[in-house]
Structure 1
Amino acid sequence: MTSRNWVRLFMTTLLVGGVTAAIVGFIVRWNEFQSYFTEFKIMDILSAIIFLIGMGFLISVISQMGFFSYLTIHRFGLGIFKSVSLWNSIQVVLVLFGLFDLVYLRYVNFAKPGDSILLYFVPALLLLIVGLIVAWVKSKQTNREAFIPAFFFMIVVTLVEWVPVLRINSQNWFYLMMFALMACNAYQLLILHKLNMKSEQERQQRKNQTGSKVKNNKKINKKPSV
């Protein structure tokens, strides 16, 4: 990927994180912000928007760190196991462990007496559904072999990035970070191959332009025949 397209990916992912965090933040924390709108507190509304967008920027940076880390780990995995099918099988097992831990560990650590474990399945099911949809779209846009890596990234890497909030179990931050991470991760995953293709086209254009300049210079510098 060219540096220009990398900067584009970075900036657009920041925008996705900021917008998602602002929208979800107002939804999950509406009880706190409702009075700002009913009483027309413009400065408080602007402060809340800036704060939520800033948090979205931070979450998007975490997302991008996880994304590029996974790209490196994926290459290492292919190199170590020497088999795409074996590496994919390991990723599927890790996905199952990740979803199980999301339900079981949260229930064990945070459930109150009388709480149903079914409530703790909701985030896992939501993450699973989004992961399947994004992986399916990615495989349609590229190839079938991309399904498992995309699915693993959307589930396991999102969970790893989500850990700071999972530990404190704050409902507001829980869903804010969840949706912002899923949006940023899905965006990066689905836009990467397009930016790679664009970067390759740009490199080819520069190569052709350089070749044309060299040919023109040779014609100009060619000595006349006697």
Structure 2
Amino acid sequence: MMEDEAVNSRKWVRLFLSTLLIGGIATAAVGIVFNWEEFGRLLLRLEMVEFMAVLLWHIGVGFIFSVISQAGFFAYLTVHRFGLGIFRSLWNAVQVVLIMFVLFDLVYFRYMAFADKGDSIIPYLLTALFILVVGLVVAYVKSAQTNKGAFVPALFFMVVVTVIEWFPVLRINDRDWLYLMLIPLLVCNAYQLLILHKLTGSAKQ
């Protein structure tokens, strides 16, 4: 089971600031990779002021993504508590069903909304598969560090909550924005998930 114990204010601030920093760095890194032509041009021309301005803009956007990630994380801790109280032993099964439902919707509705006639569904499948694979890896690490019961909740968080957090750019379907937001969200979500038990002092069972 995921840890939902309250952390004290000092640890919460530490988690907030470290996740904020990770979000900024991750977004800047993704921005450089996906916009290397622009960044490379600025470097070649030694336009360092403009280079730093663009870099700082990406870091600032990353801070926003980080805050969205943290809001989703703490919201899920609350949802998880209520889910356990309502569904009890069925909560894991409910989460598995929701994971499959969200992945199906992510592929089907995006394809129906944005694909042109004759377009392949493969790119839409690959995006969902990428999120699932990352989620499986993080969930495995989480369960290895804590207990086997953490696997499904961790996978749910990495898939379902990430997609919900990602929704603002899903609506516009711009490739650069899709990955500029998705990758930092996954990084921030994974970091929070894997650091929580260390902050709460939860031992592996």
TM over 0.5: yes
Taking the TM superposition and a 5 Å limit, the aligned residue runs for 1:61-72 are: 61-72=67-78
User: Residue 35 of structure 1: CA displacement?
Assistant: 1.5
Measure, in 2, the Cα distance between the counterparts of 1:39 and 1:100.
Answer: 46
Taking the TM superposition and a 5 Å limit, the aligned residue runs for 1:1-226 are: 1-81=7-87, 83-84=88-89, 86-197=90-201
Q: Deviations over 1:161-207 (max 9, x none)?
A: 00000000011110010000000000000000001119xxxxxxxxx
Q: Which runs of 5+ in 1 are unaligned?
A: 199-226
Tell me how large the CA RMSD over aligned residues is.
1.3
State the AA in 2 paired with 1:22.
A
User: Residue 48 of structure 1: CA displacement?
Assistant: 0.9
Larger RCO: 1 or 2 (CA < 8 Å, sep 6+): 2
Larger CA deviation: 64-73 vs 106-115: 106-115
Q: Deviations over 1:43-70 (max 9, x none)?
A: 1110011000000000000000000000
| Partner SS, residue 53 of structure 1 | helix
Q: Percent of pairs identical after alignment? A: 58
Flag the structure with larger Rg. 1
State the AA in 2 paired with 1:119.
P
Measure, in 2, the Cα distance between the counterparts of 1:71 and 1:65.
Answer: 10
User: Residue 114 of structure 1: CA displacement?
Assistant: 2.5
Q: Which runs of 5+ in 2 are unaligned?
A: 1-6
TM-score, length-normalised on structure 1? Answer: 0.85
Measure, in 1, the Cα distance between the counterparts of 2:112 and 2:38.
Answer: 29
State the AA in 2 paired with 1:191.
I
Measure, in 2, the Cα distance between the counterparts of 1:112 and 1:27.
Answer: 27
State the AA in 2 paired with 1:70.
Y
- The size of the alignment, in residue pairs, is 197
TM-score, length-normalised on structure 2? Answer: 0.93
User: Residue 30 of structure 1: CA displacement?
Assistant: 2.1
Measure, in 1, the Cα distance between the counterparts of 2:129 and 2:42.
Answer: 34
